[in-house]
Structure 1
Amino acid sequence: MHPEHGRIDATAEDLGCKWPWSAVHRVRPRAVLTCPECGHGLQAKVSRRGLRFFAHDPGSPTCGLAGESMEHRLLKLELVLAVRDVGWHAELEVPSTSGRWRADILATSPDGSMRMAWETQLSPITIDDIQQRTERFAADGVAVCWVTTNRRPWLGEVPSVRARPPSDEIGSQWWAAEGLARFAVEPCEDERGCPGDGHGTWSEASAPLREFVAWSLSQRVIPYRLPRQAYLAGNLWTQVWTAPQYVAVAESSPAPQNVTSG
């Protein structure tokens, strides 16, 4: 927060208020910046990889925004940029007017009719807690996707994906490594023991994280609760992100559906 410009955003080229980064970074006298969460002083910094961010001054109180790792910040930045790439508005750390939730990243459609929260959950949380938080978003008409970089017990219990960070290779990017699935009916080798045209199989899929964000905002993929848990990419999933056409085929297919895949 700035006393004159209000809330400013390090991920926006003009800080979200038509102000240059040079106005807050390494400037004397130092810009008066405070944390919107705890009110403690902040200073503008740039990481070795060029990530712009605000860091708490020494002696800050306990604050949920103070302990974020660099991986956490990079993931949030990737999601913010992905949302803006498709023309949606993206804002960080947005509290609800009801006080029931605060979104890590709140994406709003250009006409303001749709909202979707992107929650970067790298620290442990119980299944009950994450389901309750998901329900609080839903009560206000806000869709949500939970993103983590680790395999967690709640993956597949709520709309979620596991993201894989980029490697050191040139051109490497964030990847939606788990949480996407496709459905297909495959011929059965034993036709005598198969009552239908084959077996319907859910199989894992993956995509660059930015593509997944674009698909979800345009509803080219939607969260879908499976009829039975499926073992995908080494994890049991109760619901997945998949294309509406796969849902239509799965729900209209008389073929028995395999529980496991890959």
Structure 2
Amino acid sequence: MRGAPGPACGSSPTRLALLPARSAWNPSPTISSSSNWRQPPATPAPTPNWKSPGPGGAWRADVLATAPTGAWKTALEAQLAPITNADITDRTEKMRADGVTSIWFSDRPRPPWLGTTPSVRLTTADTGQGLLVAEGLVKFDGRGWEPVPASLTDFLAWAFARRVVPHTPQTSLWYPQRALPTVWTAPHYITAETAHLEEEERQPHP
């Protein structure tokens, strides 16, 4: 996220306000039993490093989350300033080349790059309970994909535990806003989509 934030609908958090505070780095997700989301086991909180540069200064993460074992690193990028699909993809690939995955965030109503890279759109909860994922997190309902509401804290807990992963949907997105080329979902939903497509292939066609 580079540059000063532009205007948005309603009040908008500053760049780093879109990213979790230090107190949120040991999240305990709460998942409704009816939501069909699997409760992740307790995992040690990753270590956050603010404004962390990559090797040779090729990139710089707003926040770099590192697993306690050092097994993985994930850059958390709050992108408020305008950016092209090509530029955000280039920055994502530079981090990936250094073994760092990334999650991009925006609170803008319709960021044109959303879904170009692993990303979610955030909104502020009316109840004052912090930031919520408004777009980018989905589940497979047997025929297509539908959005899943979640707090930013829960989403990050799932992402760090690899309970949600980036995915390119092969079936329809039942989305009120738009289709996204890349979404976040749980691996068992990806398996369900694959099974659905295989079943469709087995059906006789006129």
TM bin (shorter chain): 0.7 to 0.9
Q: Confirm whether residue 73 of structure 1 aligns to residue 30 of structure 2.
A: no
Paired residue for 2:112?
153
Q: CA deviation at 1:235?
A: 1.8
Q: Given the alignment, which residue of 123, 128, 133 partners 1:176?
A: 133
Output one character per residue of 1:61-96: Cα deviation in whole Å (capped at 9) or x when no partner. xxx67x4685323223x2654335451100110001
- Paired AA for residue 157 in structure 1: T
Q: Confirm whether residue 164 of structure 1 aligns to residue 106 of structure 2.
A: no
Q: Structure 1 pair 158/231, CA: closer, same or farther in 2 (3 Å)?
A: farther
Output one character per residue of 1:104-161: Cα deviation in whole Å (capped at 9) or x when no partner. 0000011112100000001110001001111111101111000000121111111000
* Displaced runs of 4 or more, over 6 A: none
Q: CA deviation at 1:203?
A: 1.1
Unmatched tracts of structure 1, length 5 or more: 1-63, 186-199, 258-262
Q: Confirm whether residue 100 of structure 1 aligns to residue 58 of structure 2.
A: yes
Q: Structure 1 pair 84/91, CA: closer, same or farther in 2 (3 Å)?
A: farther
Q: Work out whether residues 82 and 214 of structure 1, in 8 Å CA contact, stay in contact via their aligned partners in 2.
A: no
Q: 2:112 is paired with a residue of what secondary structure?
A: coil
Residues of 1 paired with 2:182 and 2:139: CA distance? 12
Q: 1:235 is paired with a residue of what secondary structure?
A: coil
Residues of 2 paired with 1:141 and 1:114: CA distance? 8
Q: 2:93 is paired with a residue of what secondary structure?
A: helix
Q: Given the alignment, which residue of 9, 25, 28 partners 1:83?
A: 25
Q: Work out whether residues 230 and 238 of structure 1, in 8 Å CA contact, stay in contact via their aligned partners in 2.
A: no
Paired residue for 1:125?
83
Q: Work out whether residues 95 and 102 of structure 2, in 8 Å CA contact, stay in contact via their aligned partners in 1.
A: yes
Backbone CA RMSD of aligned residues:
2.2
Residues of 1 paired with 2:96 and 2:195: CA distance? 28
- Paired AA for residue 82 in structure 1: A
Residues of 2 paired with 1:229 and 1:238: CA distance? 11
Residues of 1 paired with 2:45 and 2:16: CA distance? 22
Identical-pair percentage: 35
Q: 2:184 is paired with a residue of what secondary structure?
A: strand
Give the paired residue count.
176
Q: Structure 1 pair 231/209, CA: closer, same or farther in 2 (3 Å)?
A: same
Please show how residues 1-262 of structure 1 align to structure 2 within 5 Å. 67=4, 70-76=13-19, 78=20, 80-85=22-27, 87-150=45-108, 151-167=110-126, 169=127, 171-185=128-142, 200-227=143-170, 230=173, 232-253=175-196, 254-256=198-200
Q: 1:122 is paired with a residue of what secondary structure?
A: coil
Residues of 2 paired with 1:239 and 1:165: CA distance? 23
Paired residue for 2:9?
none
Larger strand share, 1 or 2: 1
Unmatched tracts of structure 2, length 5 or more: 6-11, 28-43, 202-206
**Bigger Cα Rg:** 1
Output one character per residue of 1:186-209: Cα deviation in whole Å (capped at 9) or x when no partner. xxxxxxxxxxxxxx2111112011
Q: CA deviation at 1:218?
A: 0.1
Q: CA deviation at 1:245?
A: 0.2
Looking at both structures, which has the greater relative contact order when contacts are Cα pairs under 8 Å and sequence separation is at least 6? 2
Q: CA deviation at 1:166?
A: 3.7
Q: Work out whether residues 157 and 239 of structure 1, in 8 Å CA contact, stay in contact via their aligned partners in 2.
A: yes
